[in-house]
Structure 1
Amino acid sequence: MGTDRLGLLLEQFDKAREMAEVRLTGLGDEEYLWEPAPDCWSLRRRGEAVTPRAFGPGEWVLDLGVADIPASEYAEVARQAADGMTVAKIADDWSVSVERVEQILAHTGEPEPDTTPITTIAWRLGHLHFQFAGGWEWAFGERRQDPKRMVDFSPSAALTLERFWPVIDRWRAAVATVTEDQLDAIGFSQYPYGSDPDDPYAAVVAGANLEFIHHMAEIALLRDLWRARVVSEG
């Protein structure tokens, strides 16, 4: 294992990817689309989405609600402001109003309860798929395709995974070629949803690792709950 920055980031990602692939073995369509609670966000046919900003280029779209900043991200907003980002820029990054950012920055005491909806395995895989497709496009590709139009979502778990892993591996292979200077370069990634254009690429890669790890951990828990549900009903 390398001890340089890039080597550590790649090693972390490789271990997470290996565990994730094992945990996703045998994923079936019913489990993939299972909604464990009311009002879940999921993958739905166009016209049947339950959220106002559902997106995707084809017949199936990924739920997305009204833009907001969840309580779990209040600390990140505070960091952005402390690093010198203007309130207007923060609002643009999160697709919320300036007033909402000001409200969060003025918040004191315990964070507000997080009311983010539960999301299905299909939603979480779709979310990772378009983010890593877009992450590659806006750092190593032509930097012009909208990430939310790059992935044709599918209700088939097998087809989704068949398409998903090559996208993940393409991103990883490209990141492995990055130089030390590029890791330090602010704006090496111009990914349009988030703070990538304002961050050194090392921070972008670390953020992508975190995104992959925490969503795959959530997927693993949903698989455990599905298995427990099947056992209890049997």
Structure 2
Amino acid sequence: MTTLAQNLLDLSDFAWQRLRLRVEGLTDEEYFWEPFDGCWSVRETSDGFSADSSRLPPAPAPFTTLAWRITHLIDVLQAERTATWFGHPATSEPPSVPGSAGAALEALDRAYEVWRGRLAALSQEDLDRPMGAIAGPYAEDDGTSFALHILDELIHHGAEVGTVRDFYQGARGEDPFPAALRGELTAADRPALLAEAATAQRWEVVRRLAELGFGVNERAAGGVTAAHVAAGTGSVDELRFLVERGADLTIKDTQFNADAPAWATFFHQPETAQYLKADSRGGCNTGWICLVGQ
């Protein structure tokens, strides 16, 4: 039987993997993008960078940039209280405010490593015990409620980050596929473009991008590869093309933890399922989607 502590850790890892994939390829322009006047963001000061704030939060709350949201999440995950409120010592230094997209992703990785280590170290007693005076007005709340609060912060801020990235792409109004086909956008510029074309089921674009050197095993949002999409939509010819180009059918997405054969099974695509069964590289791994579909 899975313990409460393990369920919390699994949920945390699931939310983290989803967020980490959503911030891949983040640029400084996008990181600091302010779509409206009055946004809260991260700004350069004489001492480095600092995040906009106010002792009395304004109402309504201002729109916050990716820089502000990611910085806030970094602070939340490795705050001293994520150790001390559980009765454990805090061992990490407060993070500095990252002044670039690259620095932000490195700091985000470190922050999650700190939080995950603290969460993994919790015993059932830590989760059951009221937190006491150190938690102020939450003294009577137990450790489980606080762990769930931090997970809610990770999940809802992660969703906000993904939404702002979508908003940024939509506001630019650019279709990246023509630029890639003209050679103006390379795999180094946007590694997941072939997977994105697959999720849009633009298979003719997928084939041309593969010929131009875009990787067939890169992941779009949710950790989905082109092979997942082909298998789940019953696109046998496209799946065969991807396999011939070196598609790794064992890669699992981060939403369902399932491989391409599992997608074929779950989405009731007998043709792609049969093709994958016949292919020596196919096989249904242990993601829950596979178990449900069988």
Q: Which amino acid aligns with 1:8?
A: N
Q: Quickly say closer, same or farther: Cα 1:119–1:189, change in 2 above 3 A.
A: farther
SS at match of 2:26: coil
Q: 1:62: Cα distance to partner?
A: 0.8
Specify the alignment match of 1:125 in structure 2.
70
SS at match of 2:159: helix
In 2: Cα distance, 1:196 partner to 1:167 partner: 24
In 1: Cα distance, 2:174 partner to 2:89 partner: 48
Specify the alignment match of 1:98 in structure 2.
none
Structure 1: 4+ residue segments shifted above 6 A: none
Specify the alignment match of 1:159 in structure 2.
103
Q: Quickly say closer, same or farther: Cα 1:195–1:60, change in 2 above 3 A.
A: farther
Q: Deviations over 1:146-175 (max 9, x none)?
A: xxx822112211111112212212211221
In 2: Cα distance, 1:217 partner to 1:5 partner: 24
The aligned runs of 1:1-234 (5 Å cut-off) are: 3-46=2-45, 58-68=47-57, 115-134=60-79, 135-138=81-84, 139=86, 140-142=88-90, 150-187=94-131, 190=134, 195=137, 197-231=139-173
In 2: Cα distance, 1:175 partner to 1:195 partner: 22
In 2: Cα distance, 1:66 partner to 1:219 partner: 24
Q: 1:36: Cα distance to partner?
A: 1.6
Give the TM-score normalised by the residue count of structure 2: 0.53
Q: Which amino acid aligns with 1:129?
A: I
Q: Which amino acid aligns with 2:119?
A: V
In 2: Cα distance, 1:132 partner to 1:190 partner: 18
In 2: Cα distance, 1:189 partner to 1:207 partner: 18
Specify the alignment match of 1:79 in structure 2.
none
Q: Deviations over 1:72-130 (max 9, x none)?
A: xxxxxxxxxxxxxxxxxxxxxxxxxxxxxxxxxxxxxxxxxx61111011101111111
SS at match of 2:130: coil
Q: Where does structure 1 lack aligned partners over 5 or more consecutive residues? A: 48-57, 71-113
Q: Quickly say closer, same or farther: Cα 1:221–1:142, change in 2 above 3 A.
A: closer
Specify the alignment match of 2:256 in structure 1.
none
Q: Percent identity?
A: 28
Q: Quickly say closer, same or farther: Cα 1:196–1:121, change in 2 above 3 A.
A: farther
In 2: Cα distance, 1:150 partner to 1:222 partner: 26
Largest Rg, 1 or 2: 2
Q: 1:37: Cα distance to partner?
A: 1.4
> Quick check: 1:41–1:119 contact (8 Å CA) kept in 2?
yes
Q: Supply the RMSD in Å over aligned alpha carbons.
A: 2.7
Q: 1:216: Cα distance to partner?
A: 0.7
Give the TM-score normalised by the residue count of structure 1: 0.65
Q: Deviations over 1:192-225 (max 9, x none)?
A: xx75544211111100010010001011010001
Q: 1:9: Cα distance to partner?
A: 1.5
> Quick check: 1:189–1:201 contact (8 Å CA) kept in 2?
no
> Quick check: 2:42–2:52 contact (8 Å CA) kept in 1?
yes
Q: Quickly say closer, same or farther: Cα 1:233–1:11, change in 2 above 3 A.
A: closer
Q: 1:31: Cα distance to partner?
A: 0.3
In 2: Cα distance, 1:202 partner to 1:214 partner: 18
Q: Quickly say closer, same or farther: Cα 1:31–1:188, change in 2 above 3 A.
A: farther
Q: Where does structure 2 lack aligned partners over 5 or more consecutive residues? A: 177-294
**Residue correspondences, number:** 173
